[in-house]
């Protein structure tokens, strides 16, 4: 009974002490601050729950795309490699098997290859209708010109008629000539040929026009079973055609163009170099020079190249590369 009384007294004492402390704190505040102060919190009150939030990144469940490096040309990469079987000997234009590009990439043929390249068939174009209009104008209708006659004569350097075309009425717009005449003779490289146009009116009045000279440093034609690349020896061995080495840069560029033609269409076909010069000894030396140049450019075996020299007149001196393509 006493213990309960003591606990009640002690509790009363504690409450009284707390009231005294609160009153003392209230009296200690300044007069202006009394209105701002809120009610005192009883010791037995439980504070409200405090929620703490964080700004953590959102958790993602989606997986990032898989980045795998692939080579689109892996299946055909081996086909891009050069065929090492073609490199049968050491070439001056190549360093090793693993460097298969020319040393002199800044030469004129690479920058402007059309200057020295040519096709495997020679085509010489003439434009007789254009010449007709230069003489008569454009006022002649086809009915008016049905009784006209025209001829196109191609003459050589000695003035002889090498080939001839003729017809009646208006001439055709274009005539493509292979360079071969009716006697199966071909124009010679390095020689000039003049086209001569003659137009005859119905009354017999004749008008003549000379066209531009035709001159090729090289011509290509099929003769029997062989393709012949005939080149001007004056460009290869000097104006007098007597040099023992190939002239630079014109001669080397011409041989490089011939080699390009062979590589494009006739690679791995046996060929023979025929050189016609002033003497047999000179022609043999020149033919050997041409053979060595082709050997370095084509990179083919010794059994595919041969050469021979012939003596001939100055007008007939030339260099022929003969390929057995049929």
DSSP SS3 for 310: strand
pLDDT at residue 92 in the model: 37
Maximum Cα–Cα distance across the chain: 167
pLDDT at residue 38 in the model: 47
| CATH architecture of the domain with residue range 218-323 | 2-Layer Sandwich (3.30)
261-305 pLDDT tens trace: 888 888 888 899 999 999 999 999 999 999 999 988 888 777 888
Place of tokens 């009284």: 16
17-51 pLDDT tens trace: 555 555 544 444 444 444 444 454 454 555 566 66
State how far the Cα of 261 lies from the Cα of 26, in Å rounded to an integer: 114
pLDDT at residue 214 in the model: 84
Handedness of CA 28, 29, 32, 37 (dihedral sign): negative
pLDDT at residue 58 in the model: 65
φ/ψ region of 268 (left if φ > 0, alpha if ψ in -120 to 50, else beta) reads: left
Residue range(s) occupied by CATH 2.60.40 in the chain:
124-215
pLDDT at residue 112 in the model: 44
- pTM, to two decimals: 0.57
- pLDDT category at 15 given cuts 50, 70, 90 is low
Mean pLDDT of 301-321: 90
pLDDT at residue 281 in the model: 94
- pLDDT category at 184 given cuts 50, 70, 90 is confident
Beta bridge partner(s), residue 271: 305, 323
Stronger pLDDT, 106 or 48, i.e. the higher one: 48
- pLDDT category at 55 given cuts 50, 70, 90 is low
Among 55-59, 100-104, 190-194, 210-214, the least confident range: 100-104
In the chain, which ranges are continuous DSSP H helix?
Answer: 2-28, 108-111, 128-136, 233-237, 250-265, 280-298
- pLDDT category at 216 given cuts 50, 70, 90 is confident
pLDDT at residue 98 in the model: 38
Tell me which CATH code domain 124-215 carries: 2.60.40
- pLDDT category at 150 given cuts 50, 70, 90 is very high
Q: How many other CB atoms are there within 10 angstroms of residue 146's CB atom?
A: 11
pLDDT at residue 280 in the model: 94
Q: Is residue 191 a contact partner of residue 148, using CB atoms and an 8 Å limit?
A: no
Best mean pLDDT range from 71-85, 120-134, 137-151? 120-134
Percentage, residues of the chain above pLDDT 70: 65
Reply yes or no on whether the pLDDT at 99 is more than 70: no
DSSP SS3 for 231: strand
pLDDT at residue 82 in the model: 55
Residue range(s) occupied by CATH 3.30.1330.60 in the chain:
218-323
Stronger pLDDT, 319 or 25, i.e. the higher one: 319
Residues 6+ apart with CB under 8 A from 261: 117, 118, 119, 120, 220, 229
pLDDT at residue 324 in the model: 83
């Amino acid at each position: 009974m006493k213990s309960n009384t003591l606990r009640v007294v002690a509790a009363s004492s504690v409450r009284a002490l707390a009231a005294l402390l609160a009153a003392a704190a209230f009296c200690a505040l300044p007069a202006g601050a009394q209105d701002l102060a809120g009610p005192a919190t009883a010791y037995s009150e439980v504070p409200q729950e405090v929620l703490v939030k964080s700004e953590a990144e959102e958790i993602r469940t989606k997986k990032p795309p898989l980045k795998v490096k692939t080579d689109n040309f892996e299946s055909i990469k081996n086909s891009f490699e050069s065929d090492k079987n073609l490199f049968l000997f050491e070439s001056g234009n190549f360093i090793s098997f693993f460097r298969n590009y020319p040393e002199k990439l800044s030469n004129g043929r690479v920058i402007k290859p059309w200057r020295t390249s040519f096709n495997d068939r020679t085509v010489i174009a003439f434009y007789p209708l254009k010449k007709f209009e230069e003489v008569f104008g454009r006022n002649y209708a086809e009915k008016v010109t049905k009784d006209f006659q025209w001829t196109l004569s191609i003459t050589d350097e000695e003035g002889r008629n090498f080939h001839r075309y003729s017809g009646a009425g208006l001439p055709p717009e274009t005539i493509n000539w292979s360079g071969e005449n009716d006697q199966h003779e071909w124009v010679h490289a390095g020689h000039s040929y003049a086209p001569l146009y003659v137009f005859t009116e119905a009354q017999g009045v004749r008008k003549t026009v000379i066209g531009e000279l035709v001159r090729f440093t090289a011509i290509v034609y099929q003769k029997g079973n062989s393709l012949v690349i005939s080149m001007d020896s004056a460009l290869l061995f000097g104006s007098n055609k007597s040099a023992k080495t190939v002239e630079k840069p014109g001669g080397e560029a011409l041989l490089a163009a011939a080699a390009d033609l062979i590589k494009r269409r006739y690679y791995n076909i046996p060929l023979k170099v025929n050189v016609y010069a002033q003497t047999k000894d000179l022609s043999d030396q020149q033919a050997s020079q041409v053979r060595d140049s082709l050997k370095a450019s084509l990179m083919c075996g010794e059994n595919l190249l041969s050469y021979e020299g012939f003596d001939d007149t100055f007008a007939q001196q030339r260099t022929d590369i003969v390929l057995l393509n049929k």
